[in-house]
Amino acid sequence: MVMTIGGGITFGGGITINPPPPPFVFAFSTIAVMNNTASPFQINGVACNSSGLFVAVGQDSTNGAPVYATSSDGSIWTTPAPMNGSSTYASMNAITWSTALNLFVAVGNDASNAPLYATSANGSTWTTPALINGSTAATAMYGITVDSSGRFVATGTSGFTAYVATSTNGSTWNTPAAITGTVLGGGRSVTVNSSGLFVAVSYDSSNAGVYSTSSNGTTWTTWARMNGSATTAKMIAIACNSSGLFVALGYGSINQPYYSTSTNGTTWTSPTQAAGSTIFLPYSLTVDSTGRFVSAGAYVNGSVSYMSYSTSANGTTWSIPAYLTSGGGTQGRMQGIAVNSSGLFVTVGSYINAPILPVYATAASS
């Protein structure tokens, strides 16, 4: 019998047993500029449709016009272009995709912080951003989600009050209405589970994490602290996996990341600092079909901001936030993240050192 160890075990008779492959390591690609453009754009959000098309939205940093960019694979992007050729100031802050309606919907605000929306069936042909139900009130929209039937819910803020607007087709909206209770963060993130329960998160005047729920998008519960906890945890991102687990992320008094989870949207764990974590602001959060949560954001310490990310297989055990590798700049923030049906994560954002350039990075789930 012949037996060789090293690169595999070989026995006489031609039987070879190879060693197991190394464990899978999740990591993002090097940050790259969209289509290598030298023009300044700020990218705020990204969504993916049923065909795997990624669409990002933001703003032209020169004239303030609303812009979009598309990618069929997450890596080859178009140069950000004005929505319907519009040159009017409009910051598009968030975007979602409805499978039921085959429609992208983006929300944001104009120069007076009035709420805006825009729609597109293909990610490239957009309506001009318009006021939500004609409202000129200063209720800038920062978050949007949609349920399986095509009901859109957008959340935003005015001063210390959170506002919500709903639409069943993406184009006809009700006027943004306040969610009962005063919150400092103002409802910047919202999600929905497979049963149609909408959940928004934020933080109150004491910087404690709070939540509100709705079964129809229009009638909301009063903001409540997560498990009654007074822990400083400014909740700014939320996602829900296919099993119905809600995960909220935020940050503490010195910008360290916190998480809280709920299986029903109403009973939450007390906000807890991620073990072994460092400074990290989780601006965005998504989850793939296997239940892997990924958050993209930034390490922010004073005026210094570096693009970073963190992952979790269960919503409670989080990786130590890691820097994304820079491909052409040093400082920036990843503002949005989305994942396609194949488990490809795409995060988008902007370099913040001059010029403000639109960037992206990708990572495979497995």
**pLDDT 10s digits, 210-256:** 999 999 999 999 999 999 999 999 999 999 999 999 999 999 999 99
How many residues comprise the chain?
Answer: 366
Residues 196/188, Cβ–Cβ less than 8 Å: no
Which residues, 6 or more positions from 15, have their beta carbon under 8 angstroms from its beta carbon?
none
244: alpha, beta or left, given left = phi > 0 and alpha = psi -120 to 50?
left
Could you give the angle at the alpha carbon of 271 between the alpha carbons of 266 and 273, nearest 5°? Answer: 155
Which pLDDT value is given to residue 302? 79
Question: What percent of the chain is modeled with pLDDT above 90?
Answer: 84
Which pLDDT value is given to residue 32? 95
Q: Pick the residue with more confidence: 130 or 21?
A: 130
Q: For the chain, which residues make up each domain, given as ranges?
A: 27-364
Burial class (CB in 10 A: 0-12, 13-18, 19+), 296: buried
Please tell me the pTM assigned to this model: 0.92
Residues 59/90, Cβ–Cβ less than 8 Å: yes
Residues 200/223, Cβ–Cβ less than 8 Å: no
d(CA 178, CA 186): 10
Structure tokens at 242: 């296919």
Which pLDDT value is given to residue 112? 97
Residue-wise pLDDT for 129-172, tens only, equals: 999 999 999 999 999 999 999 999 999 999 889 999 999 999 99
DSSP letters along 101-163, please?
TTEEEEEEE-TT--EEEEEESSSSSBPPPEEGGG--SS-EEEEEEE-TT--EEEEEEETTEEE
Which pLDDT value is given to residue 277? 78
121: alpha, beta or left, given left = phi > 0 and alpha = psi -120 to 50?
alpha
* CA 75 from centre of chain: 18
CATH 3.50.50.60 correct for 27-364: no
